[in-house]
Structure 1
Amino acid sequence: MTHPSGDRFGTPIDLDTEAVVIIGSGAGGGTVAYELTRRGIPCVVLEAGPYLRPDDYENDEWAAFQQMAWLDHRTTSGGYRVSKDFPHLPAWIVKAVGGSTTHWSGATPRFREYEFRTRTYYGDVEGANLLDWPITLEELAPYYDLAEKAIGSTHRHGRPPLPANNNYKVLAEGARRVGYLHYATGPYGTNAEPYDGRPASIQDGFNFQGDKNTSKWSTAVREIPRALETGRCDLRARAHAVQVTHDARGRANGVHYLDAEGNLHRQAARVVCVAGNSIETPRLLLMSASALHPDGLANSSGQLGRNYMRHTTGTVYARFDQPVRMYRGETMAGIVADEARLDTSRGFVGGYYLETLSLGPAFLAAFADPGAWGREFTEILDAYSHTAGLWIVGEDLPQESNRVTLNTDATDQWGLPVPNVNFADHPNDVALREHGYQRADLLYEAVGALGIHHTPPYPATHNLGTARMSARPEDGVVNAHGEAHDVPGLFVSDGSVMTTGAAANPTLTIVALAIRQAEHIASRFAAGDL
């Protein structure tokens, strides 16, 4: 049976034709698709969600959430606050062409040199499963350049900054008064002026529900359309991958997937790139267990699904006597970088950023203090127009017990076991978050805040680890180019490969790694090695 034509885009590739099959079309998968097709390599892209265009985006936060979010059944455990407040929504990510790049805020800081070598710099932290990356910042730097140019990051390569909105002005003045030195409106992945075929930002506020103006970079705006234009990309939307297969020698050779009606198809593959986010990627590989890989595909180390990271986060909202209107302008175009440093004198390893943040009234009500009621809660909402907000985003430490597993007691709409996300903070995470709260309080008090509220972490937008890179096969799942140690021809192309999480928002690094991986795959194709 052929895939329904209404969910198929680009140049059809026969189901029996070997191609590079890419599962997922977000920052990693969409980038790999474009980088390979522009080099002449045919690709089939399987995307579980629909293909939404800018005109399709709902300009209403709840309607957009229902339209875009990955709402398939999931379960949680581990005792962290999210498992209590949102037991079936551990992650706030997108199920659509472009993945979470259609939902991301746009911050694009780079990882720092020490963050690629945390085992070396942090030492033996009890309870943490630290490991140095098998690559260095020096090796990744040229690909960071390429990623920043693809995204159009402001403040980089001669591109101008975005203008300051009121939320940033409050942040910046508070930062100045407490002695911080490194703060700006970027780097940020939304155009301050027309660039690369996309218009300048119109400062239209929230962009978590998709950017109708297309000034914000996403693979749905840039990489996927360009891959389709090459004539070598077969994009199949509403195509949910359920198994990666291999031949008798153990080499990846195909993908089984379900179409929108639940019909099962098989696409032959010369190479398989899995880019389903750090929850769906290990879930798929665990479901792909075989006689050769009884514990899950690419899981000879036992590390598949382990070391799940979501960044250490917390949000701080401050009320003022004058209007701030934090919802105007770009959502996260404001970053204080002074705390993103190696300094164990603060009582923890790793660092964090303070980044401007605003949510709409409905989301603020849902996330400010889930389950709360009474006057203290309504004060937060009553002061909405007079409120400034920032997000703490910092490194959380990998732990083997923080992991994604298959929950065979619960099934999704296809009757498949759902992923269970088990997570608990490491004491280092708690110390870092509390330090961030204290510094944010000082920052806002310095500019006259009348009241300050801390929100607990909510469903993760940064999902990392679970198929980490390692130099030795026994320490991780994939090698320095993202190829599985024990399954030739199987690559992981998303944030799952991150050995550690660093403090920086991950999208830029995912794109840089994907560009590097595609270059590697193409060179091996040319050499006849794949």
Structure 2
Amino acid sequence: MSVRFCGSAPPPGAAVHVPNAIRAAVDRVIPADRWPGGWEGGVDAYLADSPDLAWAEPALARLAERLDGLAGDRPFADLPPARQDELLRGIEHDDDFAALRRVTFEGYYAAREGAAPAGLDLVGFRAVPVGVTPVEPDLVPDVGPGGVRRSYDAVVIGSGPGGGVAAQLLTEAGRSVLVIERAARVPNAALRGDHLRGKRNAVYRPTAGPGAGHPRVAILPEGDRVLDGTDDAWLYGLNADIMGGGTRIWQGMAWRFMPDDFRMRSVYGNPDGASLVDWPVSYDEMEPYYFRAEQELGVAGEEGALTARTPRTAGYPMPPFGTEPARELLADAADRLGWGWGPIPLALNSVPHAGRPACVRCPQCVGHACPVNAKNGSHNTFLPRAAATGNLDVLYDSEVVEVRDGADRAAVTVMAGASGTPVELEVDAEVVVVAAGAVETARLLLASGIGNDHMGRHLHDHRFVTMLGTVQRPVKPYIGPGHSVATLDHVHAETIPWGGGVLVDLMGLLPLTWASNPLPGVPRWGAGHKSWMAGDRANVFGVFGMGQEVPMPTSRVTLADVRDRWGRPGAALRKLVHRASVEVEDGMAVHGEEWLLAAGAGDVFRQRGTATASAAGEHSCGTARMGKDPADSATDPFGRPWGSRRIVVCDSSLHPTNGSVNPTLTIVANAFRVAEHLVSAWPAGAAGRTA
């Protein structure tokens, strides 16, 4: 007998089936009641159809044999349910039972293509609201390897917010531009609705890439670990590898950094072992670019407590999203505490805008593409505008493997059509704009021999904390877009050191996340677990904190010994956490608990995550940080690596520090500043010749 999943052919003559003991055990992990049990509710189909369960086959085969052995004279499947539960409780801490529990929850509570497991209805989760017909954004066409010219005015590497802005400004100035995107040209439908492969919740191969052949080495305290692009997304790094970059699947929190975020060293000094510096620009210099970013990206928000310390040219182009129970509960609590609060600014259409519809408030905005194209990002704003000029080519499914600087021209080597039979192309340009994200930008430039000793150093992200409690009535139903209300009263305040952090309501977590991580005291499987999922789970509510991470020179991207599919070195990531960053986390936890208690929550506790400090994160930055002196920076104030002539960095790599809020609006604003300077410093083919 063999146990087979994932659709592979069985050995000749083998009887292929799932043992009755496993079927019975699945129905004890999720017993039938008014809702189907685990087997009928989705696990049967999951075991039959999933291509990812080869890892579970040995564990489930061992478990089946063991259960039948424990059952004695009768097969386990023939025992009364109470006796089955008794035997399972005796082994519930074993690895083989953990595999059963995991597979059962994945099959019953995880949405995925072509499946609607019963657990979604049980918790009231509907991926697309009733009556909504999904639409697809009209992505910029693929020029294909055969359509690439030998020379362009500019080559832009990466199509995320930095690369998209650069492409827009360069093409609008009459420059010919080739944007090179590593990912294939995939539709939004392929980037939403899969709770096993979404970038933020990937259990298996993330749909947002980068796929196999892109190894990294995580340098961990317990030893180095080699990862590929199909592995643990949290450890590998959560940056999305798709057209539009992270803006294709973000939730859209579109904050401005505060004035003190641009002068962290002046305000706080530099603790031992850290590398805090000031930005080479001030908030006042950035403000016009923030205004342009909000207008051209499209942000919904309101002026008030959240904008009081960030002077503005004008208001937001769209009104804020309407209220919801979570906002009302925390707003009342903030008023009692004397804290300012407001609706979170979001780069989502709260009303029809720019020829696209309003958000339909689906429950899976975070980490998934929008069903109606109401999420604003590089893919549906900056790049279409660039294409409309007639000066843009976009090459998908292609990777730059080398950048070469020169006195008269720059050049790139491209492996085009990478998912098929790749074609090596050589393309030269007046300037090469590198906007591949904090890890890949540093890796590519280091592998190309470009940059000083600061290139790759100062890798940092944000510090995060989650506080959970229970409230008397559900306030966070499965209605999007996610986070709704925030306070900035603990940012650059006396309450939390080192710049502190923003506190927001916790977004609605996916059903599989709750099932796999129930509250302490909740049964981890069985009737009690299912009852909690169907009932009291909805009363769990949380506050989420995001705060400053103090950079360190020893946190860095270097070149690893492992090689990618082109024979180029992969990235090695070392991420250390400074004690000052831990102080920020602890401070956010204190005030997050205070906010929940003021809202009437009970049993409040701090959730401890398992994510390692060595992950690249999703807000990674700093690896090509800009400055006024090569002694403490990798690039000049306009993104040119010190010592280079025709290379410009234009992404989060440039951020010397990362503020205490989501960085994307700042990436966009700074990209407008960098690209505007590039255009103005480019008279008659003299790209890069001015400082």
User: What TM-score do the two structures reach when normalised by structure 1?
Assistant: 0.88
Distance across 1 between alignment mates of 2:332 and 2:284:
34
Q: State whether structure 2 residue 376 is matched by structure 1 residue 217.
A: yes
> Contact 2:491 / 2:500 at 8 angstroms: preserved in 1?
yes
The letter for the 1-side match of 2:511 is P
Q: State whether structure 2 residue 233 is matched by structure 1 residue 73.
A: no
Provide the secondary structure at the position in 1 that maps to 2:583: helix
Q: What CA deviation, in whole Å up to 9, does each residue of 1:91-115 have, x standing for no partner? A: 2121110000112121112111111
Which of 443, 452, 460 aligns to 1:283? It is 443
Q: Equivalences for 1:116-195 in 2 at 5 Å? A: 116-154=262-300, 155=302, 156-157=315-316, 159-181=318-340, 183-195=341-353
Q: Shift of the alpha carbon at 1:52?
A: 2.7
Which of 540, 543, 548 aligns to 1:390? It is 543
Q: State whether structure 2 residue 349 is matched by structure 1 residue 197.
A: no
Partner of 1:330 in structure 2?
481
With over 3 angstroms needed to count, the CA separation of the structure-2 counterparts of 1:326 and 1:185, relative to structure 1, is farther
Distance across 1 between alignment mates of 2:409 and 2:633:
18
Partner of 1:272 in structure 2?
432
Distance across 1 between alignment mates of 2:543 and 2:224:
19
> Contact 2:145 / 2:423 at 8 angstroms: preserved in 1?
no
The letter for the 2-side match of 1:184 is G
With over 3 angstroms needed to count, the CA separation of the structure-2 counterparts of 1:96 and 1:377, relative to structure 1, is same
Q: State whether structure 2 residue 582 is matched by structure 1 residue 430.
A: yes
Q: State whether structure 2 residue 655 is matched by structure 1 residue 498.
A: yes
> Contact 1:153 / 1:190 at 8 angstroms: preserved in 2?
yes
With over 3 angstroms needed to count, the CA separation of the structure-2 counterparts of 1:135 and 1:81, relative to structure 1, is farther
The letter for the 2-side match of 1:355 is V
Partner of 2:122 in structure 1?
none
The structure with higher relative contact order (CA 8 Å, sep 6+) is 1
The letter for the 2-side match of 1:504 is V
Which of 549, 564, 570 aligns to 1:418? It is 570
Partner of 1:20 in structure 2?
154
> Contact 2:651 / 2:667 at 8 angstroms: preserved in 1?
yes
Deviates more, 1:60-69 or 1:437-446: 60-69
Q: Shift of the alpha carbon at 1:262?
A: 3.5
The letter for the 2-side match of 1:502 is G
How many residues align? The count is 507
Q: Shift of the alpha carbon at 1:483?
A: 1.4
With over 3 angstroms needed to count, the CA separation of the structure-2 counterparts of 1:364 and 1:527, relative to structure 1, is farther
Partner of 2:65 in structure 1?
none
Q: State whether structure 2 residue 241 is matched by structure 1 residue 95.
A: yes
With over 3 angstroms needed to count, the CA separation of the structure-2 counterparts of 1:7 and 1:414, relative to structure 1, is farther
With over 3 angstroms needed to count, the CA separation of the structure-2 counterparts of 1:60 and 1:441, relative to structure 1, is same
Q: State whether structure 2 residue 167 is matched by structure 1 residue 33.
A: yes
Provide the secondary structure at the position in 2 that maps to 1:172: helix
Partner of 1:508 in structure 2?
665
Which of 359, 374, 379 aligns to 2:509? It is 359
Q: What CA deviation, in whole Å up to 9, does each residue of 1:222-251 have, x standing for no partner? A: 11222222211110111111110123x4x6
Distance across 2 between alignment mates of 1:324 and 1:475:
47
Distance across 2 between alignment mates of 1:82 and 1:318:
37
Partner of 1:3 in structure 2?
none
Q: What CA deviation, in whole Å up to 9, does each residue of 1:183-236 have, x standing for no partner? A: 222211112111222221111122121112111111111112222222111101
Q: Equivalences for 1:344-493 in 2 at 5 Å? A: 346=496, 348-356=497-505, 357-364=507-514, 375=522, 382=533, 383-408=536-561, 410-452=562-604, 453-456=606-609, 458=611, 460-493=617-650
Deviates more, 1:29-38 or 1:63-72: 63-72
With over 3 angstroms needed to count, the CA separation of the structure-2 counterparts of 1:413 and 1:318, relative to structure 1, is farther
> Contact 1:147 / 1:511 at 8 angstroms: preserved in 2?
yes
Gaps of 5+ in 2: 1-139, 200-205, 303-314
Provide the secondary structure at the position in 2 that maps to 1:315: strand
Provide the secondary structure at the position in 2 that maps to 1:8: coil
Distance across 2 between alignment mates of 1:80 and 1:108:
37
With over 3 angstroms needed to count, the CA separation of the structure-2 counterparts of 1:365 and 1:20, relative to structure 1, is farther
Distance across 2 between alignment mates of 1:162 and 1:12:
45
Provide the secondary structure at the position in 2 that maps to 1:31: helix
Distance across 2 between alignment mates of 1:528 and 1:60:
47
Provide the secondary structure at the position in 1 that maps to 2:207: helix
Distance across 2 between alignment mates of 1:323 and 1:394:
27
The letter for the 1-side match of 2:216 is R
Query: What RMSD in Å do the two structures reach over aligned CA positions?
Result: 2.9
Partner of 1:293 in structure 2?
none
Deviates more, 1:433-442 or 1:138-147: 433-442
The letter for the 2-side match of 1:419 is A
Distance across 2 between alignment mates of 1:449 and 1:40:
58
Deviates more, 1:12-21 or 1:348-357: 12-21
Distance across 2 between alignment mates of 1:24 and 1:284:
12
